[in-house]
Structure 1
Amino acid sequence: MTGIGTGQGAGTAAVFRETTAEPRTQSVPLAQLSLELGHLYMEDFEAGPDRLRRHFAEVKPWADAAQALAAAGGRRARVSTCFLVDDYFTRFSTPAELVPMLIAEAERAGLVIDYLARESGCAVADGIEVAEEVQARLVESPPPGTDGTRPPAVQTGWLANGERSPGGPAQEAMAGAEPWRPPAETAARRHSVFVDVELWDRQGERRTWSCPFLAAVWQLSRLGLLRHAGDPVLQPVPWQGTDFPHDWDDLPPVIRLNPSAAPFSAYRTCSFLPSRFLPVELAVRVILDQVDADPAALAQVAARSLGEGRPVPEEIADRMSYVFYPGP
């Protein structure tokens, strides 16, 4: 046991405690900006290289603009890029076939993919139930007048940004039942934009996390805020060579393709996505507005960004930005 004394003078007593019991949260390297160059689903792959070619051609001018903005004022900017592949909802193709095609089409457009991530890693990574741990950090914001009759999101699998409409015709027919009223956003600006997000569903005993919830985990990772017992989660593994496995499970959740890349996590994120992702990303904001992220990780990011003259917003969701293009 290592002792830590509080004093040696008369009338004082030394207090000893286990240093191993001291809470610690490991920091992670941080870029200033993380650019998500895309998110690939099975239908995008099935459409062939032309679909990817059009996507990267759309992204290129916006990626250039984001990097120029990060370096505004002559500042040296640390900017990394990433690409997310959906291997969670549908297993398609193989890393051996898909990754070289992704890299080639990005390079054709003048882009470099620094990091490649698997969406299944946002659910479970290296034996850690990542999504389960993020769900445990949900702190729902109950609207005024909530009576506690509705089970919490961890039981129902639904999370809202305000007060839901009470009951329906069946309840209204009951004596003393509360009449219908419209839903209300908790932080509405005159008119409500009410959103109710499905976090997961079940088929038998198997829980399937929703796309918005996994995307929220993905954003927390890119913002350097994911921890398990104080250790970083979803950290990139360097990938050497051009040979990739034939099974997605043989590929680490996040790999670093570019040895000279800036850090994977960053103070802020920007994602370039087809407009069909807009409702998903709105749901991501609803989720992150109610996540109680690791306070030590938050403090580390806040202190380091402030020290560089690039302070981050207090709200996690305000650290994210997007470019949505029409897309297929």
Structure 2
Amino acid sequence: MDTTFREASADPRTAAVPLAHLSLELGHLYMDDFAAGPARLREHFARVRPWADTVRESCARTVGRRPRISTCFLIDDYFTRFSSPAEVVPQILQEAAAAGLVIDYLARESACAEAGQVRPARLVEARLVQSPPPGSTGARPPTSETGWLSNGERSPVDSLAEAMSTAAGWGPPHEIEAKRHSVFLDVELWDEQHGKRTWSCPFLAAVWQLLRLGLLRDDGQEVLRPAERPEEFPASWEALAPLVRLNPAAAPFAAYRTFSVLAGRFLPIEHAVAVILDQWSPEEPVLRQLADRARQEGIALPDSVRGRVEHLFNGPS
């Protein structure tokens, strides 16, 4: 009798995550928004409400039946720690309810960097595949060393030229997929000081989109599982779960597509997110799993990750 021995990790199981049809983001909260008082939140949710209604109606027409839509809200506790969940979260929920909105899930932005034993940002970094521009010589160090990612070819930099040679001189940057004229973007993904890495806002925003799309796995396992709403919100952000299900009747957190209603100031951030997603390689088993499930439900799912992400920018920039 022939026997074949295999490592247990040779065929890692890819866990399936529950999926809504759409993940609808109702906004972000940063320290300056909180410092402006309840009026700022009230104004924000009043602007979001009509667009949220429109998105729901559009999703229902696309799906052709009652759609599964979950809403989420992100709080910045990564770059600045302000106030406490005990004070901030009830205020957010109160102002959202006053505008006729229900927030199903509340997430901490620091969860995009670290969620328990999992490092979502590192998982995303490991699967970045930089698109080399035509004619690239490899003279520039890779993204993994520099922490910078662009959507094209940067301006040339003169190096030490041989004697009697002519310097290359300046040349314009060039977007790889330019439509006649280039819109070149160079994105800083992180910086490091004293050996400590700080992820950039655009990179964490890209991680956030991938979490909402259900595309991240850690050794085949789910990365971010929602915790149930506590009876009382804690006095520190560290004591609050990375992702909290506020509404027990909510549709799943992750979804086939995402839609974010954001203030105009987020436009450059989301442009950078698009550059990152264009150069991120999903795990094939995860991609195949979502495609199969979408097909079974009769859902048209774009092949590209970027094609599954939509935005509406509303309000001051």
TM-score in same-fold range (> 0.5): yes
The question of whether the paired residues in 1 share the 8 Å contact of 2:47 and 2:315 is answered with: no
Per-residue deviation, residues 77-127 of structure 1 (Å, max 9, x unmatched): 000000000000000010000000011110000000000000001001112
**Quick one: which of 17, 20, 35 aligns to 1:31?**
20
The alpha carbon displacement at 1:288 in A equals 0.6
Give 3-state SS (helix, strand or coil) of 1:71's partner: helix
Of 84-93 and 305-314, deviating more is 305-314
1:281 aligned residue (270, 276, 293): 270
Provide TM-score, normalisation by structure 1: 0.92
2:48 counterpart letter in structure 1: V
- Counterpart for residue 316 of structure 2: 327
Q: Secondary structure at the match of 1:51?
A: helix
2:242 to 249, 253, 257: 253
One-letter amino acid of the structure 1 residue matched with residue 246 of structure 2: L
* Structure 2 partner of 1:115: 105
State the partner residue of 1:293. 282
Structure 1 distance, partners of 2:229, 2:161, is: 60
Cα-to-partner distance string for 1:156-176 (whole Å, 9 max, x where unaligned): 0100011000015x8689844
Distance 1:176 1:71, change over 3 A: same
Q: Does 1:93 align with 2:83?
A: yes
Q: Is the 8 A contact 1:272 1:322 kept in 2?
A: yes
Determine if contact 2:123/2:216 at 8 Å carries over to the other structure. no
Residue aligning to 1:103: 93
Q: Which structure: larger Rg?
A: 1
C-alpha spacing 1:19/1:311, structure 2 compared with 1 (3 Å):
farther
For residues 180-200 of structure 1, give each alpha carbon's deviation from its aligned partner in whole angstroms, at most 9, with x where no partner exists: 211111111111111100001
| CA distance in 2 between partners of 1:171 and 1:264 (Å) | 53
2:211 aligned residue (202, 216, 221)? 221
Q: CA deviation at 1:258?
A: 0.3
Percent of pairs identical after alignment? 58
Alpha-carbon distance between aligned partners in 2 of 1:310 and 1:172, rounded to the nearest angstrom: 57
Paired with 1:239 and 1:298, the residues of 2 have a C-alpha distance of 31
> Could you tell me how far 1:18 is from its partner in structure 2?
3.5
1:67 maps to 2:56:
yes
In the TM superposition, what whole-angstrom CA distance separates every residue of 1:240-280 from its partner, at most 9, and x where no partner exists? 43x10011011111010000000000000000110000000
- 1:152-163 matches, cutoff 5 A: 152-163=142-153
For residue 24 of structure 1, report the CA deviation from its aligned partner. Answer: 1.4
**One-letter identity of the residue aligned with 2:140:** R
**Superposed displacement of residue 14, structure 1:** 3.8
1:297-308 alignment runs, 5 A limit: 297-308=286-297
Q: Quick check: 1:268 aligned with 2:266?
A: no
Structure 2 match to 1:177: 167
User: Partner amino acid for 2:156?
Assistant: P
Shift of 1:319: 0.4
After superposition, the C-alpha distances for 1:258-305 in whole angstroms (9 at most, x for unaligned) are 000000000000001100000000000000111111211111111111
Deviates more, 1:197-206 or 1:95-104: 197-206
1:7 alignment partner in structure 2: none
Deviation at 1:323, TM superposition (A): 0.9
* Equivalent residue, structure 1, for 2:117: 127
Distance 1:309 1:283 in 2: 31
1:145 matched to 2:135? The reply is: yes
Paired residues of 1:172 and 1:180 also in contact (CA < 8 A): no
Q: Is the 8 A contact 1:56 1:106 kept in 2?
A: yes
Cα distance in 1, alignment partners of residues 161 and 235 from structure 2: 57
Query: Given residue 224 of structure 2, which amino acid in structure 1 is its aligned partner?
Result: L
Q: Is the 8 A contact 1:31 1:263 kept in 2?
A: yes
Does residue 17 in structure 1 map to residue 10 in structure 2? no
* Partner residue, 1:77: 67
Tell me whether 79-88 or 195-204 shows the greater mean CA deviation: 195-204
Equivalent residue for 1:46, pick from 20, 35, 55: 35
Aligned residue identity for 1:68: E
The answer to whether the 8 Å contact 2:224/2:243 transfers is: yes
Q: TM-score, normalised by structure 2?
A: 0.95
Amino acid at match of 1:61: P
Q: Distance in 1 between matches of 2:144 and 2:276?
A: 12
Give the AA of the match of 2:50: P
Q: Distance in 1 between matches of 2:235 and 2:162?
A: 59
